[in-house]
Amino acid sequence: MTTPTPTAFARTVRGTGPGLLLAHGAGGGIEANYGPILDGLAAQHTVVGVDYPGTGATPKARNPLDLDGLAEQLVAAADAEGLDTFAVSGYSLGGPVAIRLAARHPERVSSLVLSASFAHPDTRTVLAVSLWHQLFASGQHTLLAEYLNLMGLSEAALNALTPDQVHAVAGQLAPTLPSGTGDQLDLVRRVDVRGDLAGIAVPTLVVVTTADPLISPSLQRQLAAAVPTAETAELPTGHLPFVERPQEWLKLMNDFLATT
């Protein structure tokens, strides 16, 4: 179920068991980024996620987004569901959100799973996100959707489609782009949680998407190397594990969470 209120972000809650908070990526949403594995996660956890401003039923932001605000909204959702402690899964931009949440509330976080993520954007990421932002702002959303296929899918997954199929997929994706995409991409360019990493003391799994054209595997490995408690798992996928390898991604997460 998804429950929006005037003072909180739209919230998705499923399942029973230990708490698991979900933080989604820029231009995505809980359903968009975790939908294919939500039931699998909820089979063993009380799963709680929020949609950022301008995604789903959460109204667009009036001010620039910041990591602290997103992290606190996720904690507020956990409070509303009666979760005192919880694991946190962050995908892409959700990784820095999860890291900041763990830095602000270390006593409440039991473990972290960071997938296709980063501690700060490198030059390549900034350029890729800037083009994404410009295409979104220009209203060329079908062209943007084709660009997102190029930047989101692995080479193998993209080449499994014909150009006509890619164009058809882009046509389906274009109308679904969240209105808050620009605000979320602006945050990506400003993210820097490197100062939080050394203080992370909970078990952490960094899932490196090894065929990722958007967030390079080297940038993801830099994140893992800076977290004292991190272990790394490699997933041979582009930036969209929920599209290319959802069941493998789910198994990595559930197996890790079962041990923490």
Q: What is the pLDDT of residues 192-212, one digit of tens each?
A: 999 999 999 999 999 999 999
Q: Which of 130, 134, 162 is nearest to 149 (CA)?
A: 162
Domain boundaries in the chain?
2-121+191-257, 124-176
Give the mean pLDDT of the chain: 96
The whole-angstrom separation of Cα 187 and Cα 120 is: 11
pLDDT confidence of 8, banded at 50, 70, 90?
Answer: confident
**Distant-in-sequence, close-in-space partners of 253: CB < 8 Å, separation ≥ 6:** 37, 41, 89, 113, 115, 205, 207
Q: Which of 152, 129, 113, 145 is nearest to 237 (CA)?
A: 152
Q: What is the pLDDT of residues 209-231, one digit of tens each?
A: 999 999 999 999 999 999 999 99
CATH match of 2-121+191-257 with 3.40.50.1820: yes
CB atoms within 10 A of CB 132: 21
pTM: 0.95
Q: Which two tokens stand for residue 113?
A: 């799973």
The whole-angstrom separation of Cα 253 and Cα 111 is: 11
